Amino acid sequence: MSSLMRTPRERLDMRNAKGEGSVSKTATGYRGYVTVEGKRKYFTAKTKAEAGQKKRELLNRKDKGTLVTGKDITLGDWMRHWVKVSKLEPSVRGTYDWNIEAYVVPHIGAIKLSALRAEHLENLYALMAAGEVGKSGKKLAPRTIRNVHANIRAALNVAVARGRVGHNVALHAVTPTVTKADTTSFSEADTLAILAAAVGDRLEARWNLGILYGVRPAEVLGLTWADIDMDNGVVHVHSQLQRVRGVGLMHKPVPKTPAGDRELTLAPEIVEMLKETRAQQIRDRIVNADIYTEWEYDDKPVGLVFTRPNGRPVEPRLDSRYWRDLLASTGLPHARRYQLRHTAATLMLDMGVDVVIVAATLGHANPSFTFDTYVHPLDVRKAEAGLMMGRLAKRSAPYAAPYEGLDGGSPGQVKLTEG
């Protein structure tokens, strides 16, 4: 039926204010559209009432800013595109790629951006927490889940800015609470046991730099001989050795923060350990001449300080294995390598080193971060604090006398005497 054949009432019903779109009759029902930013968002309906309802729903979404036009895209494809166009460090890109392919794509990656809801994200996070994501069946920590959520939120922020979606549903998704890890440092006795076990080890200097100076694992493994000034006892920390997914082993002259590019003054004992490390490397070249190969990065010899007998780097996973073996030899329970760094901060502050100096040694820009993150009272000091409070309680005894309240009092109540 043409518009001329419709009654005046029908033509009036179809008429809309400017910007509200239009509804027209077709051979099979009704077809309409709503204009958004100069583009039309079309819909179809079987009845006139249904068409009116759909139009009102679209106009409502338009008013709320949740109606967009253009070709819809899935969450998985959009996140891949987001990572591709983002300016990211290779190591960061590798982590983001893993989060997307391992967690997002298999479970909610096929959902269109326009259909994505906060509940989809919450269901994914619940599966991750229950260990139902991935082949290992391992329950994922709240921090890992929050990291995945941060990736999704950032990608959707860009989608909103590009007009792909009207709003970011990740802003409304409930995420698990990340509690601050109660990472304890090694006691002085445990530290001495570890250092004693490291004596004569080819990585003795590596362990000392970790537990006494708090040098990060990636930083200490990335040290080169060009970074060491033996004569003045100074080491320049400014590189990292990392294995990046999809890229391989990388030697990155990029500190975690600007403050991470730092120089440390070494004790004479540490300098002697480094000299022995250098001598061992020379012996390796001679004894293992047929298999010894100096590792190159970007087609240039790196000159790493800590290497295997064949000249290859001590990769992060291998370093972690060496650490487990060293710790096992002391009889101490398993602990992460980062506990070495934590111990360095705690011991330095325990010896009265100013927190500003400790922060500079660790490569922190903000001393308050150093204090809040790495400084926790040892269990031994907690016990000492309890005993001290007990002694104070005993000293207060002479100043107290039994006291009975108006109702006769109760055992243990005291009243301080005057004078």
Are the beta carbons of 403 and 416 closer than 8 angstroms? no
pLDDT of residue 257: 65
CA distance 320 to 111: 39
The yes-or-no verdict on residue 3 having pLDDT over 50 is no
Q: What is the DSSP string of 180-236?
A: PP--PPPPHHHHHHHHHHHTT-TTHHHHHHHHHH---HHHHHT-BGGGEETTTTEEE
Which one, of 340, 81, 119, 73, lies nearest residue 214 by Cα? 340
Least confident of 7-11, 71-75, 191-195: 7-11
Are the beta carbons of 110 and 119 closer than 8 angstroms? no
- pLDDT tens-place string over residues 142-191: 989 999 999 999 999 999 988 888 899 999 999 988 776 555 789 999 99
> What single letter denotes the amino acid at residue 311?
G
pLDDT of residue 253: 76
Least confident of 39-48, 59-68, 267-276, 339-348: 59-68
pTM confidence score: 0.65
Are the beta carbons of 358 and 370 closer than 8 angstroms? yes
- From first CA to last CA, the distance across the chain in angstroms is 107
Can you tell me the mean pLDDT for 361-378? 77
Question: Where residue 8 falls among pLDDT bands split at 50, 70, 90?
Answer: very low
pLDDT of residue 35: 79
Instruction: Using DSSP bridges, classify how beta strands 400-402 and 414-416 pair: parallel, antiparallel or unpaired.
Output: antiparallel
Higher pLDDT: 352 or 179? It is: 352
CA distance 128 to 125: 5
The yes-or-no verdict on residue 407 having pLDDT over 50 is no
- pLDDT tens-place string over residues 267-302: 999 999 999 999 999 999 999 999 999 999 989 999
pLDDT of residue 244: 81
Question: Where residue 19 falls among pLDDT bands split at 50, 70, 90?
Answer: low
CA distance 40 to 86: 30
The yes-or-no verdict on residue 414 having pLDDT over 50 is no
pLDDT of residue 110: 95
Look up residue 5 and give its two tokens. 């054949």
Angle at 304 (CA atoms; ends 302, 305), nearest 5 degrees: 155
The conformational region for residue 213 under phi > 0 = left, psi -120 to 50 = alpha, else beta, is alpha
Q: At what angle do helices 338-350 and 188-198 cross, to 10 degrees?
A: 130
What 3-state DSSP class applies to 364? Answer: coil
Percent of the chain with pLDDT over 70: 79
Higher pLDDT: 402 or 62? It is: 62
CA distance 166 to 159: 8
Are the beta carbons of 332 and 194 closer than 8 angstroms? yes
The yes-or-no verdict on residue 52 having pLDDT over 70 is yes
Burial of 193 (0-12, 13-18, 19+ CB in 10 A): middle
Which one, of 267, 241, 246, 259, lies nearest residue 361 by Cα? 259
Q: What are the φ/ψ torsions at residue 40 (nearest 5 degrees)?
A: -95, 135
Contacts of 231 (CB under 8 A, 6+ apart): none
pLDDT of residue 289: 95
H/E element holding 57? helix 48-64
* 3-state class percentages of the chain: helix first, strand second, coil last, to nearest 5: 50, 15, 35
Tell me the average pLDDT of the chain: 83
Place of tokens 């022995």: 276
The yes-or-no verdict on residue 307 having pLDDT over 90 is yes
Look up residue 85 and give its two tokens. 């166009």
- For the chain, list the domains and their CATH numbers: 3-64 (no CATH), 75-172 (1.10.150.130), 188-374 (1.10.443.10)
Contacts of 266 (CB under 8 A, 6+ apart): 213, 233, 234, 235, 274
